[in-house]
Structure formats: C-alpha cells, structure tokens
A = this chain, B = another copy of it.
C-alpha cells in the first residue's frame, strides 16, 4: 500500500516530503485512506515590539504535545524562520523553547537544507534575466526586486552598475518576495512554473512584460525542485511538526504553504497553523487570502496568545486583544485566550481569570509553557477539544474577487483593524498608484480587483496610531504594488516600510 513514507526522504536530521506528489496521489486515488483534519489558528495579540514574541511557537508546540497526550492526533505547521534574522539577532530562532521545543531547532533555524536559499537564488536569477532583457531591449524598467537572506537596511535602496548606467534597484528580504508567495500559494510545481510565467518582469514603453515571454521556466523550477518541500521534524516529546513557508505576515503573506497544511490535514485530525505576528497580520492573511481566495480550509478554532503583562499593563493598547478575540468569534471561529506566563507570574493566574471573565472571553488557558511544556496545558483543554470534536467542518467563505481594491482595503480596515470607511485616508500619490496598477493589470490582461489583497504594514500597529482614542484612529493608504504571478495586490499602509529590510540590531 502506498503511504506518506513513499513520499518522504531523510535530509540530515529532518525529513522532507514530496507533498505535491502525495497530494496528487490522493487526488488520483479517491479511495486511498486519508484524514480530514481540522485547522486551528494559533495567533496572538498585536505585539508591542516585533522583536519580542509572546511565544506563539512555544504555545503551538506545547499545544500539540498536550493534545497528543489526550489521545488526539494533532500536528502543527510552522513557517521556517529567516536564517539571516536569526543569525543577526539575539533571541535565537523560531522553534519554541524549554520543554516546548523541537528536537532539532538548529536545523529549522539554519537554512533547512537550502529551501529559502533556493527561493532566493531563483528570484535573484529572475532579476538577472530582467537585466538581460533590458540589454536586449525587451523591457526598459525592472519591476522585481532582488532579495537577501540577511538583513541590511542599506540594501533598501541601491544603485547597480554604479558609475556607468546607475540603475536604481531595491532589495527585499527573501521571505517577502513574489516567488516565495508563489511557493506558498501553489499546489504543484507546474502551478509554480505557470505563476512565474505570469510574473511581471518590467515594462517596455509602459506596457507590462512577463517572465513567461523570455525566461525558460525550467531554470527556475529546477532550482526549486529538490529544496522546496515541507520538512518533518518533531517536538522533544515526539509529536510531528511540519515546517514550510516563511515569516513576515505583516509585509507579505507570511503563512505556511497551502500544500503543507493540506497534506497535514490528510494525515492528522487536528492541524495547528501558526499565524503571526498578531491576529491582524498572520490570521488576517490566512482568513482573507488563503481561505477566501485560495481555497484553504477555514479554521475550526483559534488560540489567541498573549503575555500576562501585555494584556494588562499598557492601557492605551489594551483594546487590541479583546478586539482580536471578538473579531474571530464574529467570524464563527471559537477563540480561546491563552496566557503564556513567564517566570514569577504564576501568582497572577486568579487575576487573569477574573479579567477574562469580565471581558466575556471563553475560559482562558494559562501556563508557563517554556517551563512546563504541554504538561501544563492538557487538563485545561476540555472546552477546546469539545469544540474541535463536536463542530462540523466549516463552510467556505465568500471571496472578494472583483471587489474594487479600495473597497477591499476599507473592508479589511473596518473588520480587522476597527477603523471605519471615513477614516481610511489616502496619502498623496496613492490614487495615482492605484491608477497605474489598474493600467498595468489591464494591459497584462488581468483585473486589479481580481487580485487578493495583501495589507503591508508594521507588525506592531494596525492603524496610524493604535494609542489614539477609538474614534480618532485612522489608516493611511500609501501605495499599491502588483504581484501578478502570485495573484496579489499589495497595499502599503500606516507605518509600513516600503521595502522590508531591517537594520541589524
């Protein structure tokens, strides 16, 4: 009998799975055994600082260990952290901590057998071919940025061929590039190739020119074929964890690949999808892009992680956590608060429970997950397990395809950030940018309003100033960028960096 093992290969201390092949096998063999796992989003409050995590990965790992201890076949799909950020930073990677850790965090943190690197090399090769196309007179402007796997703010704006033609270019972090988005959203290598062919390389006399017009697609797909596969690793307690896709849901989509989540659902009963930074970033992208526009499964429940201090100690920002919980509940996603305690905070539990009750939350799950791992959670999961066990599979949600882009952004501002229509502001030049994007799309034979919307923003804020009173909060729209291959329209808003390229700290 064919099983997932036939699609699995060892790569050092992790395994990699030919997920495209496995899903194709299931499709071709409708009677082959499979599960129909339900999806749980683990998301969080909007962070006070991007660099200070509440412990979403730690929570995710503790949660699957706890569910498995209760006899439930649970797994998680994590995104690979950015190696450059991990190496440059002080806090280590994104593979949990303490008793809620992966067995081999070092392999997730340090390159994962070349997956992100293959995407980086392929995207940079596309830029090289775009330059060649300029030399050959096929295009006169390049619209795709180079990428870097390590942060370096000086790369946000560069001039290449310096001293001669002095061409202005941009460099963005690898996980935020269009090719990464294509990898996240595609369900076969052929689809990756087709989407690369539709990427707009640049313009010639103002008209869009796609890569399909001048690049042999094997050059790109061959680079990706071996490296771009979900990795399988496990927690220190032996629970399976898949890793595929990249971070930065604030400035890109930043969710696990659809194929890795769908494969996990075919293999397990409960699949945790980690969606950060906050609910306004990763969860918004999972719901409004992956589910509404790309056919991913609507979550059956959510866990909204926070820290004891974040929840209480900053009154100006205290509105955000209940706002996120309410939003998920309104979308028919049972949202369970989870407070990840740090050392010395155990005595705050009664007060945290009182606050939760006052805010009319579900009974919160509270524990020091670094110290206790899943052991601290298992006994608190009755209501959560009940929801997962007794709910029916959630229905598909309506798509926004065809909704005018600006209306779509206003819908997100109202629903995901709590800012009504009349306080969505346009920065000078924004409408010009929308007009240019509309023209570019129609000349490429697509409609801007058919593209899924990617809100590009700071991870630490939803509005121009989250500390302002509720009736004064605004969202300012800055510019639009078309990713025709990925099928996305990116809109920069509030305090977003136009080019997400952090400085080393």
Which residues of chain A in 107-134 are interfacial with respect to chain B, using CB atoms and an 8 Å cutoff?
107, 109-115, 117-118, 120-122, 124-125, 127-129, 131-132
Interface membership of A403, Cβ < 8 A: no
Residue of B nearest to A171 (CB): B160
Give the CA-CA distance A150 to B223 in the complex, in Å: 12
Residue of B nearest to A104 (CB): B226
Interface membership of A381, Cβ < 8 A: no
Interface membership of A497, Cβ < 8 A: no
Give the CA-CA distance A115 to B164 in the complex, in Å: 34
A125 and B150 contact, Cβ closer than 8 Å, known pairs A158-B159, A164-B157, A168-B162: yes
CB pair B114 A113 closer than 8 Å: yes
Chain B residues within 8 Å of A202, by CB: none
CB pair A223 B11 closer than 8 Å: no
Q: How many residues of A contact B (CB 8 A)?
A: 62
Interface membership of A316, Cβ < 8 A: no
A496 → chain B closest CB, angstroms: 19
Interface-side segment among A64-72, A81-89, A193-201, A437-445: A81-89
Task: Pick the residue among B112, B150, B155 that contacts A160 (CB under 8 A).
Answer: B155
A212 → chain B closest CB, angstroms: 17
Give the CA-CA distance A131 to B161 in the complex, in Å: 21
Give the CA-CA distance A504 to B117 in the complex, in Å: 20
A147 → chain B closest CB, angstroms: 11
CB pair B150 A154 closer than 8 Å: no
CB pair A158 B158 closer than 8 Å: yes
Chain B residues within 8 Å of A220, by CB: 87
Chain B residues within 8 Å of A10, by CB: 9-12
CB pair A121 B157 closer than 8 Å: no
Interface membership of A190, Cβ < 8 A: no
Residue of A10, A13, A88, A150 ringed by the most chain B CB atoms within 10 A: A150
A423 → chain B closest CB, angstroms: 32
Which residues of chain A in 12-60 are interfacial with respect to chain B, using CB atoms and an 8 Å cutoff?
12-13, 16
Chain B residues within 8 Å of A312, by CB: none
CB pair A226 B110 closer than 8 Å: yes
A62 → chain B closest CB, angstroms: 25
A128 and B113 contact, Cβ closer than 8 Å, known pairs A157-B163, A158-B158, A159-B162: no
Chain B residues within 8 Å of A168, by CB: 162
Interface membership of A470, Cβ < 8 A: no
Chain B residues within 8 Å of A159, by CB: 158-159, 162, 166
Interface membership of A188, Cβ < 8 A: no
Interface membership of A345, Cβ < 8 A: no
Residue of B nearest to A107 (CB): B226
Interface membership of A222, Cβ < 8 A: yes
Interface membership of A269, Cβ < 8 A: no
Interface string of A154-193 (1 = CB under 8 A from B): 1111111111111110000000000000000000000000
CB pair A118 B117 closer than 8 Å: yes
Interface string of A130-152 (1 = CB under 8 A from B): 01100100000000000011111
Interface membership of A393, Cβ < 8 A: no
Chain B residues within 8 Å of A219, by CB: 87-88
Interface membership of A106, Cβ < 8 A: yes
Interface membership of A317, Cβ < 8 A: no
CB pair A118 B128 closer than 8 Å: no
Interface membership of A227, Cβ < 8 A: yes
Task: Pick the residue among B115, B167, B227 that contacts A110 (CB under 8 A).
Answer: B227
Give the CA-CA distance A166 to B159 in the complex, in Å: 9
CB pair A223 B16 closer than 8 Å: no
Residue of B nearest to A90 (CB): B216
Interface membership of A225, Cβ < 8 A: yes
Task: Pick the residue among B150, B152, B162, B227 that contacts A113 (CB under 8 A).
Answer: B227
A370 → chain B closest CB, angstroms: 21
CB pair B83 A121 closer than 8 Å: yes
9 further contact pairs, Cβ within 8 A, besides A10-B10, A158-B159, A158-B162: A10-B11, A11-B11, A13-B226, A106-B222, A111-B223, A117-B120, A128-B504, A157-B161, A158-B161
The 7 closest A-B pairs by CB, nearest first: A114-B114, A117-B117, A154-B161, A154-B160, A159-B159, A128-B152, A10-B10
